[in-house]
Amino acid sequence: MCLSRLSLSPSVCLLPVLQLLNSVAIYPELRRVFDREYADGLYGPLPFTLSYMVSELPLQLIGVGLFCIVTYFIIGLRWNSYHFLVGLFAEFVVYNVGESQGLMIASLVDDIGVTVVLTSSIQAVQGALSGALSVDIPQWLQDLNYVSSIRYAVRLVLVDQFHDGLNLTCTPAQAYPDGTCFIPDGDAVLEDVLDLDYNDFNSYLIGLACCFVVYRLAYYVVLRIKVTYF
């Protein structure tokens, strides 16, 4: 049960890589159309950014929703509307931020291969530093990790799944002489294994919301600079 929940962390880290497909399969052609129409004075970067976001958000929600349904049933996670919505929000933001990162790079370079390499490299590093795959990392990397949506998403899902009421079992060979388990419940996993605190739950929510807004605004700024000065 403990390992099944810990295995959710790599699945969250995969979402930005999946969303990268939009950045290399769909966006380059749309950007070329925008470049021509911007040169003709039809509209600017802001309408293009908003229209692109409005058209993609419903499809992102559907895709992430299906992913969450399959993930929660197969892994056997704690299942109710509250836990599901927490996971849906975390994975949706990671999915969206992953695309924003890809869009920023795709706006700066025309080579699809370069976009794939740079974006996937950034997201791979963020996944490795998320907090479950590597718990003890140097301080400067921990500070750098605060700009990663994967950091907040992984921690949010883990504290939601392990906190309050998750009792764990162990074999007699794994138990103490008095019969108690080394890790008796989910809160012990958070405190002793992952070094996480449920009291930071709201901080992870706010961090995800900030990442969602900041990365999309950063994409708009990059696009505007590109079409204005280059």
**pLDDT tens sequence across 97-114:** 988 998 999 998 888 888
Q: What is the pLDDT of residue 10?
A: 59
Residues of the chain with pLDDT > 70: what percent? 89
Report d(CA 162, CA 169) in Å as an integer. 14
CA nearest to 222, candidates 4, 10, 14, 23: 23
Q: What is the pLDDT of residue 185?
A: 79
At residue 175, φ and ψ (nearest 5 deg) are: -90, 160
User: Residue 5 above 70 pLDDT?
Assistant: no
Residues of the chain with pLDDT > 90: what percent? 27
Q: Which residues lie closer than 8 Å to 140 by C-beta, 6 or more apart?
A: none
Best-predicted range by mean pLDDT (32-46, 71-85, 168-182, 187-201): 32-46
* Residue 191 binned pLDDT confidence (cut-offs 50, 70, 90): confident
Look up residue 97 and give its two tokens.
């931020």
**pLDDT tens sequence across 115-142:** 888 888 888 788 777 766 666 778 888 8
Instruction: For residue 83, give the DSSP letter.
Output: H
